[in-house]
Structure 1
Amino acid sequence: MQELVDRYGVLLVFANVLALSLGLPVPAMPTLILVGAGLALQPEAMWLPLLGVLAASVAASLIGDSVWFYAGRRYGNRTLQSLCRLSLSRDTCMKRTERFYGRFGIRILSVAKFIPGLSMVSVPLAGAMQSRLPPFLRYDGLGATLWATLGLGLGAVFSRQVETVIDTLSQLGTGAGVLVGIALAAYVAWRWWRRRTLLKSLEAARIEPAELDALIQAGTAPVLFDIRAPGFRDVDPYVIPGAVFADERQLDGILTGYPREGKIVIYCACPDEVSAAWMAGRLRAAGFRDVLPLRGGIDAWRARGLGVDPLAR
């Protein structure tokens, strides 16, 4: 381990953190811990190399995050949707990020790397919100520094234990790599299976944009709920005509404010209309008879050339 850290520590950290920041499913925290432990085992020359590794980690993080920042600034909603489709928790990653960002603004980048799912979307969301570059670099750099310091610090504090684990794995030879690979594959498979189970348990029925438009044109428009979070509405400040904003976490107002026999259509900004389907299921369980998610949401509506209204400012 010592020779590996001495020769390739900085390069290994830089490449690993850069890959993670660009969106590849390669965890970097174990690498930081490993390199921190290796440097701690040579305390007479630890601090200067440790600062070099920290600088490499922060630089790699800023490079990768800047790519997504400018992608969010240029492509907006399409970048956010693409990232959530890559996530194994894509039904929650967008909503969670929107709410955190709506509450704390760009300052959330200083802690985003510590919250699973948040770091993936918060950076392009900052770009889509047209945040200025200096605040982005300041808060994202602070977050990258805190995150890398934690990893290197854990490695330094538990260096002896890390060395013991590495020695044990070395004795196992290629078997250790096989075990790690099996464990990683099992984890991904479990998350995928849980995701598929969730989708099957949700409402299968959808209403197509053309069907909704026909109802509106016929004068029989249903109640239309837009359940996108406020932060996302800032990124995409348009609504389907007649839509009412609603929060799927606060159903009491809906239960008391709308007749249960009326038709309700719900649209969100998440892939596969997961949030809309989940809310439809909750309303059906509460006695609403005709509740449907809009297939494809507002993006599918616009793709058919149907009109949208700008948000009032």
Structure 2
Amino acid sequence: MQLPDLIERLFAHYGYLVLLVGLPLDAIALPIPPGNTTLAYTGYLSYKGVLSLLPAVAAAWIGSILGMTVTYWLGYKLGAPLIDRYGKWLFLKPAYLEKTRRFYGKYGNRLLLFSFFVPGVRQFIGYFAGIVRVPFRTFAVYSYLGSALWVLAFVGVGYAFGEQWEIVFGWVESSLKYISLGACALLGGILLLKWRQRRLRSRLRRFERESD
């Protein structure tokens, strides 16, 4: 039996269970096939009639939010106390954590919405939100909505493009990487500019005090 045939048969018999178990493992950052690929292939199998589209989307969404919820509570219950206790040994001073919390308060909810589309960020945003003690209700609203957008987008690629899904999927993956790099560069530039502005204001205040 060819490997693709074997995978297809596994999805035919256990496809929904694969999504319910595999996507939480992807969120926890275990070394399994990436969630983007799994979702696009799920859409393709729905196109072929191996899976039913709506149950597949539902299973994928439930699996995704289960994984995000687990990572949030791991960060909240385990990560936050460890950082509070041992953060100073890792140069994570309370002042830095407080600045991080304020930064998240400004931009974090929007990041939650789109973090699913960025491999590497998707796997750690839940831990991070738990560590900085984002209220669970806020986390759930934005992360669950972001998860729904992610699932619909990548299942849609596989379903809409059928036999050509791998070509389109490769283009989407490449585009997301460039967009992510550009966004990171833009964010880094904004943070650097704000840091320089704060230093300039601090120097001006010091100069004014010395002048008086």
Secondary structure of the 1:111 match is: helix
AA matched with 1:52: P
Distance 2:83 2:157 in 1: 34
Distance 1:115 1:3 in 2: 29
Are 2:69 and 1:71 aligned? no
Tell me the residue number matched to 2:21.
15
Contact 2:113–2:147 (CA<8 Å) still a contact in 1? yes
- The normalised TM-score by structure 1 is 0.42
Correspondence list, 1:36-185, <5 A: 36-42=43-49, 49-74=52-77, 75-76=79-80, 78=82, 101-162=104-165
AA matched with 1:23: A
Contact 2:157–2:165 (CA<8 Å) still a contact in 1? no
AA matched with 2:26: L
Contact 1:71–1:79 (CA<8 Å) still a contact in 2? no
Q: Mark the runs of 5 or more structure 1 residues left unpaired by the alignment.
A: 81-93, 165-246, 259-313
Partner residue of 1:31 out of 26, 38, 43 = 38
Tell me the residue number matched to 1:294.
none
Secondary structure of the 1:76 match is: helix
Contact 1:106–1:131 (CA<8 Å) still a contact in 2? no
What is the CA-CA distance between 1:100 and the residue it aligns to?
Answer: 6.8
Are 2:49 and 1:6 aligned? no
AA matched with 2:80: G
Deviations 1:40-70 (A, max 9, x none): 123xx97xx2221222222222222222212
Contact 2:101–2:132 (CA<8 Å) still a contact in 1? no
- The structure where helix makes up a greater share of residues is 2
What is the CA-CA distance between 1:124 and the residue it aligns to?
Answer: 2.4
What is the CA-CA distance between 1:120 and the residue it aligns to?
Answer: 3.2
What is the CA-CA distance between 1:142 and the residue it aligns to?
Answer: 0.8
Deviations 1:164-223 (A, max 9, x none): 9xxxxxxxxxxxxxxxxxxxxxxxxxxxxxxxxxxxxxxxxxxxxxxxxxxxxxxxxxxx
RMSD: 3.4
What is the CA-CA distance between 1:6 and the residue it aligns to?
Answer: 2.1
Contact 1:13–1:28 (CA<8 Å) still a contact in 2? no
- The structure where strand makes up a greater share of residues is 1
Contact 1:5–1:39 (CA<8 Å) still a contact in 2? no
Deviations 1:75-124 (A, max 9, x none): 317479xxxxxxxxxxxxx9xx9797343233432211113433233222
AA matched with 2:38: T
Distance 1:160 1:17 in 2: 23
Distance 2:165 2:118 in 1: 24
Contact 1:33–1:151 (CA<8 Å) still a contact in 2? yes
Sort the Cα spacing of 1:102 and 1:61 in 2 relative to 1 into closer, same or farther, 3 A.
Answer: same
What is the CA-CA distance between 1:14 and the residue it aligns to?
Answer: 2.2
What is the CA-CA distance between 1:251 and the residue it aligns to?
Answer: 4.5
Distance 2:107 2:201 in 1: 31
Sort the Cα spacing of 1:51 and 1:145 in 2 relative to 1 into closer, same or farther, 3 A.
Answer: same
Secondary structure of the 2:30 match is: coil
What is the CA-CA distance between 1:140 and the residue it aligns to?
Answer: 1.4
Distance 2:74 2:82 in 1: 9
Distance 2:166 2:192 in 1: 49
Deviations 1:261-313 (A, max 9, x none): xxxxxxxxxxxxxxxxxxxxxxxxxxxxxxxxxxxxxxxxxxxxxxxxxxxxx
Tell me the residue number matched to 1:174.
none
Distance 1:78 1:59 in 2: 29
Q: Mark the runs of 5 or more structure 2 residues left unpaired by the alignment.
A: 85-96, 168-190, 204-212
Q: Which has the higher contact order (CA 8 A, sep 6+)?
A: 2
Contact 1:37–1:163 (CA<8 Å) still a contact in 2? no
Secondary structure of the 1:117 match is: coil
Distance 1:130 1:140 in 2: 15
AA matched with 2:59: A
Distance 2:47 2:68 in 1: 29
